[in-house]
Structure 1
Amino acid sequence: MTKVVILGANGQIARLATAQLLADKKVDLKLFLRNAGRLKNEATGNAEIIEGDATKEADLTKAITGADVVYANLAGGTIEVQARKVVNVMDKLGVKRLIWISTLGIYDEVPGKFGEWNHEQLDEGYLPLYAAAAEQVEKSDLDYTIIRPAWLDNKDEVDYELTQKGEDFKGTEVSRKSVAAFVKRLIDDPTENLRHSVGINKPNTDGDKPAWY
């Protein structure tokens, strides 16, 4: 039995991943979020639901204790603080495996016109924060995988390709369902992409911006 805790379980990708994990009888699931009432209309099966604040180590300790895998789907203006607190708690508890959702562009890895557009959209108050959070994860000794999705859509499809840190980012968009499927893949194989930062996009979506803009 693999014990998985999802931090930020109300997020859209997290909810899709939750559905996949609930269907896996080999997974024991905890769902951590600020307001448990947000999941009242969601199917949560036998998952344990824990209310808490990801900037507070006591709350994180309650959630992460006993976990084999931490999947962090966190966001917001305190994301760097959250990253530091998650790393600290995992170190104290001896939990090694972290899957961390970030965003494209934190290494200035998006080329061409799309890269320029992405900077215009995300530079102020977003990319710097997410880059700083990723740095907290990367300088840890955890077995992390950072996931950097392209611009997200809600298409009912799983279709993706990956790039590694140091490579140009590909494509402009990807479905949330694809990102959730990749998270599940990483949970299924604890040896994959350890200490890697991975871009994820739908193939053949190159352009100056996502198709819906």
Structure 2
Amino acid sequence: MTMTTVLILGANGKIAKLAEAELLAQTADQLKLFLRNADRLTVTDASRQQVIEGDATDPAALVSAMDRVDVVYANLAGKNIEQQAKSVVTAMNQAGVQRLIWISTLGIYDEVPGNFGKWNHKMLDGGYLETYAAAAKVIEQSNLNYTIVRPAWLSNRDIVSYETTRKGEPFKGTEVSRKSIADFIVQLIADPDRASRQSIGVNQPGTDGDKQSFY
């Protein structure tokens, strides 16, 4: 079993924590867990998990965290997501790390069709979709080996069931479980050639409609 060193930015996020648990259970990977407040994370395997406190808008802190890292998985959020994207790209270039998995959101290319697309705009326009779209553009204009992941609306269902669409294709479905996204991320970490330089929509099959079931 090959061992990969993964830097997880925003390591206290819900999807990030599910991915961390799966990586610990299924792989021999070393995990560097980067977040603003280190006290919020509990380490379960000190031989494989290293907690790093830092700000994702600080390229110097990121470069330091990227020492001997193979993959960066960014589970970041916030109004300053575009600035975080710029800092991550700058730091990866400086540190010589190529592989980036970047979590975004559905709708950044106006790719969600029908009434659900209109509803999605109504819910996410006005500072969210715009900033996430700008951040994705920063990633796409980089020379990195990136995969942008665009989940549908997220549920906490205990299910792994998903299908994908590419940039330029209409988004499918309305919802997806966080567990499914975590599973996809673990697969992307394991295979650096998978979905290379692509932006991938992820949804649960059979969830088409005007709104997701839980709203």
Pairwise TM-score range, normalised by the shorter structure: over 0.9
* Alignment match, 2:55: 53
* Alignment match, 1:17: 19
Q: 1:174 aligns with which of 173, 176, 182?
A: 176
* Alignment match, 2:99: 97
Instruction: Quote how far apart the aligned CAs of 1:110 are.
Output: 0.1
Q: How far apart, in 2, do the equivalents of 1:85 and 1:61 lie? A: 10
Instruction: Quote how far apart the aligned CAs of 1:25 are.
Output: 4.2
Q: 1:131 aligns with which of 126, 130, 133?
A: 133
* Alignment match, 1:146: 148
Aligned length: 212
* Alignment match, 2:200: 198
Q: Which amino acid aligns with 2:146?
A: Y
Q: How far apart, in 2, do the equivalents of 1:64 and 1:125 lie? A: 30
Unmatched tracts of structure 1, length 5 or more: none
Contact 1:19 1:43 in 2 (8 A): no
Unmatched tracts of structure 2, length 5 or more: none
TM-score by length of 1: 0.97
- SS of 1:23's equivalent in the other structure is helix
* Alignment match, 2:90: 88
Instruction: Quote how far apart the aligned CAs of 1:43 are.
Output: 3.1
**RMSD across aligned positions (CA):** 1.0
Percent identity between the aligned chains?
A: 62
Q: Which amino acid aligns with 1:169?
A: F
Instruction: Quote how far apart the aligned CAs of 1:190 are.
Output: 1.2
TM-score by length of 2: 0.96
Q: How far apart, in 2, do the equivalents of 1:4 and 1:24 lie? A: 14
Q: Which amino acid aligns with 2:44?
A: A
Instruction: Quote how far apart the aligned CAs of 1:44 are.
Output: 5.0
- SS of 1:203's equivalent in the other structure is coil
